Amino acid sequence: MATPTITELHETWSRRDYATSRVGRFAVDRLADGMPVTPGALAAATGLSIPEVTALIEGARQMGIEVEDGAVVGGALTLRPTRHRFRVRGHDLYAWCGFDALFLPIMLGERVEVASTCPVSGAEIRLTVEADGTVSAATPPGAVVAIAGEEVTSCCSVSGPTSAICTQMPFFASREAGERWQADHPGVAIVDLDDARSVARAYVRPEVRLEGSFLTLPGRRLWVEQAGDGPAVVLVHAGIADRRMWDDQVAALSDRYRVVRYDHPGYGRSDPATEPYSYVEELDAVLDHAGVDRAAVVGCSMGGRVAVDYALARPDRVTALVPVAAGVSGYVGDSTPCWADLEAAIDGDDGERIAAAATRMWAPLRTDPDVDARVHQLIADNVAGIATMGTMWLDQPPAWGRLADIRTPTLVVVGDRDQPEFVRIAEQLAKEVDGAHLEVLPDVDHNVPVRAGRAFTALLARFLDGLPL
């Protein structure tokens, strides 16, 4: 088994759902009060019947959850002693493994004190872990933790403090001690505590704290949001959505990147433009407003057009480029019946017809009820922006024919079920931009960041994590 990278650990643990499930969160919160999770308490919290809860607990027991007298006493956090002591809310409790002791504070939203021992040296390890997963104090200061990768977790169907997963994720007093142990434990990475925090946050996916404010520009006012800290990434939305299309990516990236997103004029919370403007200069203003000098620019559809033009006009401010189902200025596509339907709906000033035509054209797939509803709601909420898309733009030098001038690291993404012209554009971008990599996502239409969900987010994170931003 190969040693997993940090990016691979993010992907592995973001696919596991105990830390994000309603039952899991309730159980951990109840255990943190020093109390077992009884069938009655779980029924009251979930609305399930006692027989349903009893069956749920029995199924969990078979998967490794600790149960005594019909009540849960351990699930990552446990009332039973282990080598990982975990003090929270005045209770002396225990964690199943070292990694659990790092993600549980994020689940609980509380500071905890952790004490463990190094399995190699026997040295005591003490940590203070904050509610956001940051280790604010560590003794010894070089302590590290082991985290299992996909090849280990996929082979283990049972959890618990003595399971094959948990026994392979202890703390160590030093990296040297961890690497000595690692020689006999393939498929496990020895991770410093800062990187372990980012993996823990990928697993728990805590609510992101966004800071938002209006940016006033001539003839319009834009809503701008940012979250996180680290190298900057700016997300530019499509013409059939608003900034919310990037919710999944903001949640996944903001633990290690400074993520900026905004609403185009007439979309989301931004005012319609009352005079012509340059979207390149607008993105300049957004970055200045956020206090960002240089950023990786990720844009979808109309936002991809903005991203490509910005990379050509402001190469000194772009650290990486990710055009997603992108349009490109200067490209002349074929007229289709869908375009004619949309134009007729816009001419008739009929919001419902605009939404229906935009959905037929750019969001025809039905993949998952929740995803479908989100895609359609974004379209319905932004019919005013769709109806006026591009009407107030100042002319930009066309990018089509100049794509080879782009010199920044580039990832091109498109869905295989998108309109054919967007697939052609993606292929041309990948062909002309030196070193560009093309990813065609299966069974995905135009709204890639929402429709592709975790697959696109993992792809984007892997690309960004591999760059010297």
User: Could you write out the DSSP letters of every residue in 232-297?
Assistant: EEEEE--TTS-GGGGHHHHHHHTTTSEEEEEPPTTSTTSPPPSS-B-HHHHHHHHHHHHT-SSEEE
φ and ψ at residue 35, rounded to 5 degrees: -120, 145
The pLDDT of 191-196, averaged and rounded, is 95
Q: Which residue(s) pair with 222 in the sheet?
A: 215
What span, in angstroms and rounded, lies between the C-alpha atoms of 93 and 73?
11
Q: What is the pLDDT of residue 404?
A: 97
pTM over 0.75: no
Task: Using alpha carbons only, give the angle 169, 173, 179 rounded to the nearest 5 degrees.
Answer: 60
* Other C-beta atoms lying within 10 Å of the C-beta of residue 74: 25
Helix (H) or strand (E) holding 110: none
pLDDT of 337 higher than 70:
no
Q: Which residue(s) pair with 236 in the sheet?
A: 262, 299
Per residue in 274-290, pLDDT (tens digit) is 999 999 999 999 999 99
Structure tokens at 298: 């990720």
Computed over every residue of the chain, the mean pLDDT equals: 92
What span, in angstroms and rounded, lies between the C-alpha atoms of 14 and 253?
12
The pLDDT of 311-337, averaged and rounded, is 91
Contact yes or no for 77/28 (Cβ under 8 A): yes
Structure tokens at 396: 């930009």
Peptide bond into 397 cis (omega under 30): no
pLDDT of 305 higher than 90:
yes
Least confident of 43-47, 95-99, 127-131, 316-320: 43-47
pLDDT of 18 higher than 90:
no
| Helices of type H across 161-257 | 175-182, 193-204, 247-253
What span, in angstroms and rounded, lies between the C-alpha atoms of 233 and 339?
32
Q: Which residue(s) pair with 332 in the sheet?
A: none
φ and ψ at residue 92, rounded to 5 degrees: -90, 100
Per residue in 217-276, pLDDT (tens digit) is 999 999 999 999 999 999 999 999 999 999 989 988 988 899 999 999 999 999 999 999
Q: What is the pLDDT of residue 156?
A: 63
Contact yes or no for 9/147 (Cβ under 8 A): yes
Structure tokens at 336: 């289709």
Which residue type does 174 have? S
Exposed/middle/buried for 351, CB within 10 Å: 0-12, 13-18, 19+? middle
The pLDDT of 443-450, averaged and rounded, is 94
Domains of the chain (ranges, CATH numbers): 6-204 (3.30.450.410), 211-465 (3.40.50.1820)
Per residue in 60-97, pLDDT (tens digit) is 888 889 999 999 999 999 999 999 999 999 999 999 99
Contact yes or no for 86/93 (Cβ under 8 A): yes
Task: Using alpha carbons only, give the angle 41, 83, 103 rounded to the nearest 5 degrees.
Answer: 55
Per residue in 344-385, pLDDT (tens digit) is 888 888 888 898 888 888 888 888 888 888 899 999 999 999
Exposed/middle/buried for 328, CB within 10 Å: 0-12, 13-18, 19+? buried
CA distances from 100 to 51, 82, 196, 215, 280 (A): 30, 12, 11, 41, 45
DSSP state, residue 208:
P
How many separate helices (H) and strands (E) can be counted in the chain?
Answer: 18, 19
Q: What is the pLDDT of residue 12?
A: 86
- From first CA to last CA, the distance across the chain in angstroms is 29
CA distances from 324 to 86, 95, 279, 384 (A): 44, 42, 17, 23
| CA trace torsion 319, 322, 327, 331 (10° rounding) | 60
Q: What is the pLDDT of residue 274?
A: 96
Contact yes or no for 271/219 (Cβ under 8 A): no
Q: What is the pLDDT of residue 336?
A: 60
Q: What is the pLDDT of residue 90?
A: 95
Q: Of 282, 310, 285, which Cα lies nearest the Cα of 296?
A: 310
Q: Of 268, 291, 319, 301, which Cα lies nearest the Cα of 426?
A: 301
pLDDT of 20 higher than 90:
no
